[in-house]
Chains A and B, each alone.
Chain A
Amino acid sequence: MSEIIVNAVSKTWGGVGGVDRISFKAEAGTLLVLLGPSGCGKSTTLRLIAGLEEVDSGTITIGGRDVTHLSPAERRISMVFQSYALFPHLNVAENIIFGLKVRGVGRAERDEKLRKVADIVGLSHLLERKPSQLSGGQRQRVALGRAIIAEAAVCLMDEPLSNLDAKLRHEMRTEIRALQQRLGMTMVYVTHDQSEAMTMADRVILMRDGHIEQNGAPHELYNEPASDFAARFIGTPPMNIISWQDGAMLGVRPEHIFVAERNGVPATVRAVEYLGADSIILCDVKGETVSVRQTGYCSLPAGTQVGLEWQNRHIHLFDRDSGKRLADRAPA
């Protein structure tokens, strides 16, 4: 079993940045996403697990083994870097088998594994190329190949798709997810892209300013955000948060609001974004912007007075000061 347990880990650089007493667990064979805006500590967390940074306090265990003070190599992990970190002077094959060579694996075994991995990542025809002769997507595959050839049970990924174009990114995230499940790896995956997190993860940890904002399955983050920050971070467009009574904020997802003729909260249409399958109507409610998702094409002109309605079971209430979620489904 190769679950990862991070227990009360802290790391700062002279009191700046880093992470503050974070704890979580990545179950064996699952994909855990560390999600958050830049500077939230997600990459630091990953580098602490990898052993590229030393913890100030706390412990990290991988597969029941305390690795807190071990070197990266002794942790028996593999890692994919945002820049891919390919060796520019080595060709694809040499890049992939770099680690095997370091560990003195015999030639026959190396060739055998290389053939298998090159086949998995679809690079068999490019083994002689140098990284500079590859496209972004192909480089990404080389980095993946180098990560999986060691057959380490734990694979760490630091924003691996952020240098690819949108179409390729979509393709690769399906592939990485399939690969993770096929090889049964425990994967920790860092990203700032919430749609990547939602589509790939078994579990998402949303981070902010060095602490964990919410830890849950993707549908939990979406349906029961633990704070207004989580509510605003997840979903496109994100949840609408408007001031409400009794020092509370009210949150409701755009798809749960519908436009009524007469009743409901009065609002003014400001603009309509037509997306094809649906339209996002941007409305003004007492100076706050509320977006409404409506199926199909919407022809409301800007300036139209409308009423907005939603059902009570779809609302979320957050404390105005702490931003924390208030008791579920409070009546409005």
Chain B
Amino acid sequence: MVAAVMTAAEPKTARHRNWATNVNAWLLLLPAIVLLGMFTHYPILATLYHSFFSLGRSGPAEFVGLENYRYMLDDDVFWQVLRNNFIFALATVPTSIGLALLMAVWVDKKIVGRSFLRLAFFTPTVLPMIAVANIWLFFYTPDYGLLDQFLKSLGFAGHNWLGDPSTVMTCLAVMVVWKEAGFFMIFYLAALQSIPPELKEAASVEGASRWYFFRRVTFPLLMPTTLFISINALINSFKLVDQLVIMTKGGPNNASSLLLYYIYEVAFNFWDTTYAATLTVTLITILAAVALTKFVYLDRRIHYQ
């Protein structure tokens, strides 16, 4: 009643204050909106738009409907790089996560030289991908590369690791796992340290073995971290292609090419920008599906503290 009288008495001031708050909020949001709009949302929409048009090399661009997409589905190279990308994701994501967890559990213990180990595991993350690719290029070089020299000293024959379609993907996957695992380890380490030590003590009073405790308590409590890391790793496996520029250029015969690298080639080597736009829309759809799975489905099935 009192409140009603008050509002009736000062409707103008209240509305004015409301308006001022709104303007204030929008002004604070403005820089982020402008940047995101200009460099993320507008390009996505523009890409989608261009993917429905012809290239227009001889004359104006024409609306061609799904023609570009039809072409994509008929493109053997597209299917190969897509398959490569899924194989690459399947090879790198679980391995780097498993390795990260293993390293984190190890360096979480009270052992001598723990800080040194942590630093050592983290170092590959600090290096730029370009540098990493160059280092590993030397490892894989036929005959005088590190790997071949080592094999030769054991009496094996040399091998052109990056030149052989049957070994090139494995070689790249090993390198990416080496680079990524240390980064993911940091997340696991932080999560491990947030688990109260009494849980371990309570479990040991009950007679739980270390493995039982890890399986039934530690691992479930790490699930939010595992989910976060796996989404990141999956996105990275589609996003990180720097190594291809240095090491293989997608070869031999597209055996190591990934979707994003193919888009780059189509756009800036063949200058077929509308087809590149079409491929980009496909890539964005895949990544959006991954993110959506996390937010809609997986988040509900995981315990968050």
Chain A residues with CB under 8 Å of chain B are 50, 52, 71-73, 77-79, 81, 83, 85, 87-89, 98-99, 102-103, 130, 132, 146, 150
Q: Are A52 and B204 in contact (CB under 8 A)?
A: yes
Nearest CB in chain A to that of B303: its residue: A89
Q: Is the interface of A mostly helix, strand, loop or mixed?
A: loop
Report whether A81 and B198 are in contact in the complex, using a CB–CB cutoff of 8 Å: yes
Let me know if B206 and A88 touch, CB within 8 A: no
State which of A81, A89, A146 has its C-beta within 8 Å of the C-beta of B221: A89
Residue of A nearest to B213 (CB): A102
* B56 CB-CB contact with A under 8 Å: no
Chain B residues, Cβ within 8 Å of A87: 199, 202, 217
List residues of B whose CB falls within 8 A of some A CB: 196, 198-199, 201-208, 212, 217, 220-221, 303, 305
Among A71, A81, A130, A132, the residue within 8 A (CB) of B202 is: A81
The answer, among A52, A73, A83, A132, for a CB contact under 8 Å with B206, is A73
A79 touches B202 (CB 8 A): yes
Cβ of B303 and Cβ of A52 under 8 Å apart? no
- Contact (Cβ within 8 A) A85 B201: yes
Docked pose: A71 CA to B208 CA in angstroms? 11
A275 to B191, CA, bound (A): 49
B199 near A85: Cβ-Cβ < 8 Å: yes
Apart from A71-B204, A77-B205, A130-B303, what 20 extra A-B contacts exist at CB < 8 Å? A52-B201, A52-B205, A72-B201, A72-B204, A72-B205, A72-B207, A73-B208, A78-B205, A79-B205, A81-B198, A81-B201, A85-B201, A85-B202, A87-B199, A89-B217, A89-B221, A89-B303, A98-B206, A102-B203, A102-B207
Which partner residue on chain B sits nearest A100 by CB separation?
B206
Interchain CB contact under 8 A, B198 and A99: no
Interface of B is mostly: helix
Instruction: Assess whether A88 is in contact with B303, with CB atoms less than 8 Å apart.
Output: yes
A52-B201, A72-B205, A73-B206 are known contacts. Are A102 and B212 too (CB-CB below 8 A)? yes
Instruction: With both chains docked as a complex, state the minimum distance between the C-beta of A117 and any C-beta of chain B, in angstroms.
Output: 14
Q: Give CA–CA (A85, B89) in the complex, Å.
A: 38
Given A87-B217, A89-B220, A89-B221: A102 and B206 interface contact (C-beta under 8 Å): yes
- A sample of 20 inter-chain contacts (CB < 8 A) reads A50-B205, A71-B204, A73-B208, A78-B205, A79-B201, A79-B202, A81-B198, A83-B198, A85-B196, A85-B201, A87-B202, A87-B217, A88-B221, A88-B303, A98-B206, A99-B206, A99-B208, A102-B207, A103-B206, A146-B202
A47 nearest in chain B by CB position:
B201
Enumerate chain A residues within 8 angstroms of B212, measured Cβ to Cβ: 102
Interface centre among B203, B205, B207 (most CB of A within 10 A): B205
Chain A min CB distance to B132 (Å): 37
B220 with A83: CB separation less than 8 A? no
Cα-based distance from A156 to B145 in the complex (angstroms): 63
- In the complex, the chain B residue whose C-beta lies closest to that of A82 is B198
